[in-house]
Structure 1
């Protein structure tokens, strides 16, 4: 259940232009909707039914998805960028860490405008410091799990 299904409409997300890194960092994700429609319902005391997607970013309209039941004892994965530091009540966070140099090397040119948002995120949030586990992803074909400051073998 990717977090990008909870991005805001383009009129809000792109209010400052299509390539504004500050808006990418602060304005794209509707964190309240993600909590209301997903994390709250699957969390303790929730209904157990979550909305898999709220907004269809490609068509820029409501996705009109139906709620789905979470499997009993199941695990819901919410992959996405820039998710820490906004108060999302995750039980466990695995951070895929990529150095600024690797991001610059691996980011397609048409997405390079986003790089300052990720640099700011690293500086302001310290996602690796907040995460329960960190996977070094500078070389996506050779990820490395960091445990207690040491690489896992």
Structure 2
């Protein structure tokens, strides 16, 4: 896999330009973009840069952090607070993401999505009001393990950290086996449309958009 050096700002601009030429894969009228990566990769920062670039191009955008769709603590910690298998496949409420975020954007959907559902700190519902993503809009979802659930993304970007970089930068070392399992079971670098090498956040590199049509 060949990488080219790039800045985060240029990357966001080139992704936004590429998005302008995309057509929703399901025949709908709203695009869905994934920025997949471990928390240490800081996908939320690229999500905000991309959203800003898209808005500058006149596209309505909604950014959703999967951290707002965690299950209640009683379910997340059913097997202990530091169980990597639960973290991998039991912490995120994927059913709620389907119901509240993806289904409303299907063909014929009303576009009313819920930006977040659960506050993991207060361990209670956020009560955030629904927002509408109008036709022609773009949904940007960021978080870990996004590529293993058959979510209907039109473009997937994986922020890759080498095992050494992840071990060095992860705030919770007990989660490392979960990311090793993700690599084995999902192969995000081989699955994503675009891969970003983010070992050094000051000097990212990416595979570019050459294989996805016009850049």
Answer whether TM exceeds 0.5 for this pair.
yes
Q: What's the offset of the Cα at 1:43?
A: 3.0
Q: What's the offset of the Cα at 1:30?
A: 0.9
Q: What's the counterpart of residue 190 of structure 2? A: 129
Q: What's the counterpart of residue 18 of structure 1? A: 81
Report the structure, 1 or 2, having the larger helix content: 2
Moved over 3 A (4+): none
Helix, strand or coil at the partner of 2:153: coil
Query: Could you tell me how far apart the structure 2 residues matched to 1:74 and 1:143 are?
Result: 28
- Give 1:27-106 correspondences, 5 Å limit: 27-106=90-169
Query: Could you tell me how far apart the structure 2 residues matched to 1:67 and 1:99 are?
Result: 37
Query: Could you tell me how far apart the structure 2 residues matched to 1:96 and 1:71 are?
Result: 28
Which of the residues 163, 175, 181 maps onto 1:114?
175
Query: Could you tell me how far apart the structure 1 residues matched to 2:66 and 2:170 are?
Result: 20
Residues 97, 136 of structure 1: 8 Å contact kept: yes
Q: What's the offset of the Cα at 1:58?
A: 1.0
Query: Could you tell me how far apart the structure 2 residues matched to 1:115 and 1:44 are?
Result: 38
Which one scores higher on RCO, CA 8 angstroms, separation ≥ 6? 2
1:141 and 2:202 are equivalent in the alignment: yes
Query: Could you tell me how far apart the structure 2 residues matched to 1:43 and 1:136 are?
Result: 32
Deviation track 1:33-69 (CA, whole Å, cap 9, x = no partner) reads 1011001112322111100001111111111111101
Query: Could you tell me how far apart the structure 1 residues matched to 2:109 and 2:169 are?
Result: 40
Consecutive unaligned residues in structure 1, runs of 5 or more: none
Consecutive unaligned residues in structure 2, runs of 5 or more: 1-63
Q: What's the offset of the Cα at 1:141?
A: 1.2
Cα RMSD for the two superposed structures: 1.4
Query: Could you tell me how far apart the structure 2 residues matched to 1:96 and 1:3 are?
Result: 15
* Number of residue equivalences: 147
Helix, strand or coil at the partner of 2:178: helix
